[in-house]
Structure formats: structure tokens, C-alpha cells
């Protein structure tokens, strides 16, 4: 269970950073960056996470990218989730009133300044709830690390089941453990959403 | 690509800056691609011997068979999940307390549990308790359990998104609960939910790849499992997995585009104000239009 938590938190942190950068690329005035952002998002979003994980672990080792299974999982989960974060943040950016960016431009801010100081802080507020959904989905997705025998919740349950041959209590216990993880994070994001909501 | 939101109508200086940034960014990206290609070359991953087996007709047929299995599992699971999900949505909106409660528990539980755990449980535990299915039946069962919960919530949201006036109008002209659901509410809700349903299909299609964790017989193996088989056989895991990733991307990209197109078309039609419920009896059309007018005013 600790592994699941650690995997989730580190991957989510990575995904937030990369996803925000990619979202910035996608709305930037520089065409090559926009294209690169779009390719990143479409490629990662439309490939099954399982394929990505296996490709990274078994394929990329052939070109010298070899990491422990845990690190590989974080890289793959982070990259996959960043595509969804990018799309969410982008929708948040689009939801920020146009006048905000126009006003910022009128006082002479450059694009990175407009985005970083004016638009992004407002964008994040509006997308707290969808980001929470992404976080919960990621918590569940970390179970896929079980296929490369990272000892997280699902893998532990699978091994316990093999050892004890009592599938119902074992898998039910694992399911409850996931609930214990996802329900509080749902509440936490709900709280955060109310806290940062823009009062009108 | 649409125009960037944050920087419309640039001035001359900003245009020069953007041009410079474009050249720089383009150069960096090209260098990145070149670096990757060189790396592939250096490690011998671009050798024709590693790619050629994947282009042979027998391999293509093998992969195609995997794709057919993937699509088959996805479509069966999707059909069943829509059915069960629909029932769950009705259950959660039912007036009967226990029914509402039970379907609530079902939806909340299966939505919160990782699909992989469900698949493992279905494939490892159920046979022990005497449930015998063909191998991919367990996979479908798990997919249906998970996706019906998700779809149930989508359906419920769709039904709740309709104006109250719709139900009120239906009841006012003397339709019963089921009649108003069947002829008035559901047809409209379904049309609103089509984009969400298609994107859930994309998710489901990707999730079928988890099926490779359970021991499927050779002819039942889905796309990813077959790619692994090829990778082991020809010793080219990188190449086989890349090919399969491209297949998934093409299919899912097309499906996502379809969802987007449906959404845009729908929005356009709603804003035009024309409500035409296809394939429903005249009565429902009249009712829906009347309800729409009432709800709108």
C-alpha cells in the first residue's frame, strides 16, 4: 500500500509539471511548440497504459534506457497522466476570460509572463475537480505496475491469493484498500476546490 | 489548428520574436528527433532484420487476428456495459429505496476499484466458485462490471441534465413514469450522451489490453499479447510494441475525432433550436417539442 501511495504521488507530481508545460506549449504562439504539444498529448492519450509500460520496460532498454521497475513505472505513469493533465489545464486556460489575457498584453507583459502570472493561476482554480478525477484514476492505474511485478497493492493481493488460495477475502481487502485511498483524496480535492473557488 | 487564444493579432516586434522562437524551437525538436534516430541506429534497432518480420503477410495476419479479438472483446463488453449501465442509472433514479441503494453501492464500488484487480479476481477467483466461462469471458465480465458503473454515472448525469419541464410535461399529458422515461427522457438523454459514450469506448478499447495478464489460448489472444508473442519470437520487442502502439493510436484517435465531431454537430443543432427526435413515435416528438418549449421559456 505504501508503494501504491508513493507511485501515485511521485507520478502525479511529475505529470502536473510536464502536463502544465505541455499545456503552455499547446496555447503558445510558437507553431513548432504547439505541434510538439499536440503530438505528445495524442500519442500518449491514445495508447493503452499497458502498451506504454511494456514498451518502456522491454523496448526502450534496447536503446540503453534501463531503470529499475519502480522508476520505469513512475516515468510511464507520469508521462501518460501528463497528457490528461495537459488537456485539462488547457481547457482551464481556455476558460479564463479573454479580457484577462488582453489586459495583460495591454500593460506590456510577454507571453510567458501573461501565462505564468495572469492566466495559469486562474486556470488552475477552475480545473481542481477534473485534476482530482485524474488523481483518482492514477491511483487506480498504478495497479498496472503489477504486470512488471512492482510490489504494489494489486501485485501483493495477487501473490497473497497465490499463497493462501482465498481469493475473496484477499481481493476484497485490496478493493477496500483502494477505497481507503481514493475516497479521502476525493474529499481533499473537494475541499481544495471550495477553498480556491473564485467568489463572484 | 485554431489560432492561439492568448496572443491574437501580434504586433511587428512580437511577430519577429515568435518567428525567432519558432526557428529555435523547431531546431531543438529536429535535433531531438535526429538524436533519437541516431540512438536507434547505434543500438541496431533500425536494422531491417528487426522490422521485416513485422511486414510479412503471416505476421500481419497474426496481428490482425489479435486486433479482431481486441475489437470483439471491446464491442461485446461495450454492448453489455451500456445495458447494465442503463439499468444502474435507472436504478439510482428509482423511487424504490432499496433499488436505489443497491445500484448506488454497485456503481460506487466498481468505479473505485482498479480494473486490473477486477480482471484478476474474475479470472482467478470465479472459476474456483464454479463459474466456467471461455477464457476471454472473464475479461469481458470484469470490463462490463467496471464500465457499466462508469457508464451508469454518465447516463445518470445525462438524464439529470434534462430540464425538469420535460418530465413534468410528459406526466402532465398523462404518460406514466416508464412511458415518460422511455419516450421522452431517454431518447433525449442518449443524444446528449453520445460523445461521452464514444470516449468511454476509447477507454474500454485501451483497457482490453489488460487482458494479456490472464492466460488466453493462442487464438483468443488480443493485440497486445500477440505483440509480446511476436517480440519474443523474433527478438524485437521494441519494434513489435511500436507497431501495436501505432495501431492503437490510429484507432483511438479516429474514435476521439468521431466523438468531437458528434459533439460539435450536436451543439450546432441544439443552438439552431431544432429538436428532432429520430426513430421515436410521433407522440414522443410532439411531447418532446412541447416540453422543450416549456423548459426553454
Put simply, the chain A residues between 169 and 198 with a CB less than 8 A from any chain B CB are 171, 174-175, 178-179, 182-183
| B180 domain-assigned | yes
- Read off the pLDDT band of A57 (50, 70, 90): confident
Q: pLDDT by residue (tens digit) across B203-217?
A: 888 888 887 777 666
- Put simply, the answer to whether B116 touches A94 (Cβ < 8 Å) is no
For position B281, what pLDDT does the model report?
A: 34
Tell me which chain B residues have a C-beta less than 8 angstroms from the C-beta of A183: 112
| B20 domain-assigned | no
Task: Confirm if B136 and A173 have CB atoms less than 8 A apart.
Answer: no
Q: Distance, in angstroms, between A124 CA and closest chain B CA? A: 16
CATH of domain A2-196: 1.10.3720.10
- Read off the pLDDT band of A146 (50, 70, 90): confident
- Put simply, the answer to whether A59 touches B43 (Cβ < 8 Å) is no
pLDDT at B4 over 70: no
Put simply, the chain A residues between 5 and 64 with a CB less than 8 A from any chain B CB are 27-36, 38, 42-43, 45-52, 54-55, 58-60, 62-64
Tell me which chain A residues have a C-beta less than 8 angstroms from the C-beta of B12: none
If you write DSSP's letter for every residue of A124-154 in order, what string do you get? HHHTHHHHHHHHHHHHHHGGGGGGGT--SHH
Chain B touched by A159 (CB under 8 Å): no
| B205 domain-assigned | yes
Q: pLDDT by residue (tens digit) across A100-142?
A: 888 888 887 878 888 888 888 888 888 888 888 888 888 888 8
Interatomic CA distance for residues A12 and A82, integer angstroms: 8
Tell me which chain B residues have a C-beta less than 8 angstroms from the C-beta of A175: 109, 112-113, 117
- Read off the pLDDT band of B6 (50, 70, 90): low
pLDDT mean over A153-166: 81
pLDDT at B3 over 60: no
pLDDT mean over A174-189: 85
Chain B touched by A167 (CB under 8 Å): yes
Q: pLDDT by residue (tens digit) across B237-274?
A: 788 888 888 888 888 888 888 888 887 887 776 654 44
Q: Distance, in angstroms, between B53 CA and closest chain A CA? A: 16
Q: Give the sign of the dihedral formed by CA B205, CA B211, CA B213, CA B216.
A: negative
pLDDT mean over A33-59: 87
| B60 domain-assigned | no
Percent residues over pLDDT 70 in chain A: 98
Q: pLDDT by residue (tens digit) across B46-70?
A: 777 777 777 777 777 888 888 888 8
For position B8, what pLDDT does the model report?
A: 62
Tell me which chain A residues have a C-beta less than 8 angstroms from the C-beta of B206: 46-49
For position B286, what pLDDT does the model report?
A: 36
Tell me which chain A residues have a C-beta less than 8 angstroms from the C-beta of B225: none
- Put simply, the answer to whether B238 touches A31 (Cβ < 8 Å) is no
For position A199, what pLDDT does the model report?
A: 63
- Put simply, the answer to whether B117 touches A179 (Cβ < 8 Å) is no
pLDDT at A76 over 80: yes
| B126 domain-assigned | yes
pLDDT at A56 over 60: yes
- Read off the pLDDT band of B280 (50, 70, 90): very low
pLDDT at B202 over 60: yes
| B101 domain-assigned | yes
pLDDT mean over A36-47: 88
Q: pLDDT by residue (tens digit) across B130-150?
A: 777 777 788 888 899 999 998
- Put simply, the answer to whether B241 touches A51 (Cβ < 8 Å) is yes
What single DSSP character describes residue B3?
A: P
- Put simply, the answer to whether A63 touches B241 (Cβ < 8 Å) is no
Q: What is the mean pLDDT of chain B?
A: 77
Tell me which chain A residues have a C-beta less than 8 angstroms from the C-beta of B46: none
Q: How many residues does chain A have?
A: 200
CATH of the domain at B192: 1.10.3720.10
Of B10, B26, B113, the CB nearest to A29: B10
Task: Confirm if A157 and A170 have CB atoms less than 8 A apart.
Answer: yes
For position B9, what pLDDT does the model report?
A: 67
What's the structural domain count of chain B? Answer: 1
For position B80, what pLDDT does the model report?
A: 92
Residue of A nearest to B253 (CA): A46
pLDDT mean over B91-113: 85
pLDDT at B151 over 80: yes
| B113 domain-assigned | yes
Of A81 and B194, which is predicted with more confidence?
A81
Q: Distance, in angstroms, between B283 CA and closest chain A CA? A: 40
Domain boundaries, chain A: 2-196
Query: Which domain range does residue B205 map to?
Result: 66-296
Q: Which of B120, B248, B257 has the highest number of chain A CBs within 10 A, making it the mutation to test binding with A?
A: B120
Interface confidence, given as ipTM, is 0.78
Residue of B nearest to A101 (CA): B6
Residue of B nearest to A63 (CA): B43
Q: Which of B112, B139, B141, B247 has the highest number of chain A CBs within 10 A, making it the mutation to test binding with A?
A: B112
How many interface pairs between A and B have CB atoms less than 8 angstroms apart? 164
Of A28, A47, A98, the CB nearest to B248: A47
Q: pLDDT by residue (tens digit) across A184-196?
A: 888 888 888 888 8
| B48 domain-assigned | no
Percent residues over pLDDT 90 in chain B: 2
Interatomic CA distance for residues B44 and B244, integer angstroms: 20
pLDDT at B5 over 60: no
pLDDT at B94 over 80: no
Strands (DSSP E) found in chain B: none
Tell me which chain A residues have a C-beta less than 8 angstroms from the C-beta of B128: 165, 167
For position A168, what pLDDT does the model report?
A: 81
- Put simply, the answer to whether B245 touches A51 (Cβ < 8 Å) is yes
Amino acid at each position: 500500500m505504501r508503494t501504491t501511495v508513493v507511485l501515485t504521488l511521485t507520478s502525479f507530481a511529475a505529470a502536473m509539471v510536464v502536463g502544465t508545460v505541455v499545456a503552455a506549449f499547446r496555447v503558445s504562439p510558437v507553431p513548432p511548440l504547439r505541434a510538439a504539444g499536440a503530438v505528445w498529448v495524442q500519442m500518449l492519450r491514445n495508447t493503452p497504459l499497458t502498451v506504454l509500460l511494456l514498451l518502456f520496460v522491454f523496448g526502450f532498454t534496447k536503446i540503453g534506457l534501463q531503470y529499475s521497475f519502480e522508476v520505469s513505472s513512475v516515468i510511464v505513469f507520469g508521462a501518460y497522466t501528463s497528457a490528461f493533465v495537459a488537456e485539462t489545464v488547457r481547457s482551464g486556460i481556455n476558460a479564463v476570460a479573454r479580457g484577462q489575457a488582453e489586459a495583460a498584453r495591454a500593460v506590456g507583459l510577454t507571453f510567458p509572463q501573461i501565462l505564468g502570472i495572469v492566466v495559469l493561476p486562474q486556470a488552475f482554480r477552475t480545473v481542481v475537480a477534473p485534476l482530482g478525477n485524474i488523481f483518482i484514476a492514477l491511483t487506480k492505474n498504478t495497479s498496472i505496475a503489477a504486470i512488471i511485478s512492482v510490489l504494489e497493492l494489486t501485485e501483493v493481493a495477487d501473490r497473497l491469493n497465490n499463497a493462501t488460495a482465498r481469493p475473496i477475502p484477499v481481493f476484497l481487502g485490496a478493493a477496500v484498500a483502494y477505497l481507503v485511498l481514493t475516497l479521502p483524496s476525493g474529499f481533499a480535492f473537494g475541499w481544495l476546490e471550495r477553498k480556491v473557488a473564485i467568489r463572484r | 489548428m485554431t489560432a492561439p487564444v492568448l496572443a491574437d493579432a501580434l504586433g511587428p516586434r512580437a511577430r519577429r520574436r515568435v518567428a525567432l522562437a519558432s526557428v529555435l524551437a523547431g531546431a531543438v525538436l529536429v535535433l531531438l528527433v535526429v538524436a533519437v534516430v541516431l540512438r536507434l541506429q547505434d543500438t541496431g534497432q533500425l536494422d531491417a532484420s528487426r522490422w521485416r518480420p513485422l511486414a510479412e503477410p503471416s505476421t500481419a495476419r497474426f496481428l490482425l487476428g489479435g486486433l479482431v479479438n481486441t475489437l470483439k472483446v471491446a464491442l461485446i463488453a461495450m454492448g453489455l456495459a451500456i445495458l447494465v449501465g442503463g439499468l444502474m442509472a435507472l436504478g439510482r433514479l428509482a423511487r424504490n429505496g432499496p433499488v436505489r441503494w443497491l445500484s448506488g453501492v454497485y456503481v460506487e464500488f466498481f468505479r473505485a476499484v482498479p480494473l486490473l484487480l477486477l480482471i484478476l479476481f474474475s479470472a482467478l477467483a470465479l472459476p474456483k466458485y464454479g463459474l466456467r466461462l471461455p477464457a476471454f469471458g472473464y475479461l469481458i465480465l470484469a470490463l462490463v462490471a467496471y464500465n457499466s458503473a462508469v457508464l451508469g454515472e454518465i447516463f445518470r448525469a445525462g438524464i439529470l441534465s434534462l430540464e425538469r419541464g420535460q418530465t413534468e410535461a410528459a406526466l402532465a399529458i398523462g404518460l406514466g413514469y416508464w412511458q415518460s422515461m422511455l419516450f421522452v427522457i431517454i431518447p433525449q438523454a442518449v443524444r446528449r450522451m453520445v460523445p461521452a459514450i464514444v470516449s468511454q469506448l476509447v477507454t474500454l478499447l485501451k483497457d482490453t489490453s489488460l487482458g494479456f495478464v490472464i492466460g488466453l489460448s493462442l487464438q483468443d489472444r488480443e493485440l497486445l499479447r500477440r505483440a509480446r508473442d511476436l517480440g519474443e519470437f523474433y527478438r524485437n520487442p521494441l519494434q513489435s510494441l511500436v507497431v501495436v502502439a501505432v495501431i492503437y493510436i490510429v484507432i483511438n484517435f479516429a474514435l476521439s475525432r468521431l466523438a468531437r465531431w458528434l459533439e460539435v454537430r450536436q451543439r450546432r443543432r441544439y443552438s439552431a433550436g431544432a429538436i428532432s427526435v429520430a426513430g421515436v413515435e410521433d407522440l414522443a416528438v410532439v411531447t418532446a417539442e412541447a416540453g422543450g418549449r416549456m423548459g426553454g421559456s
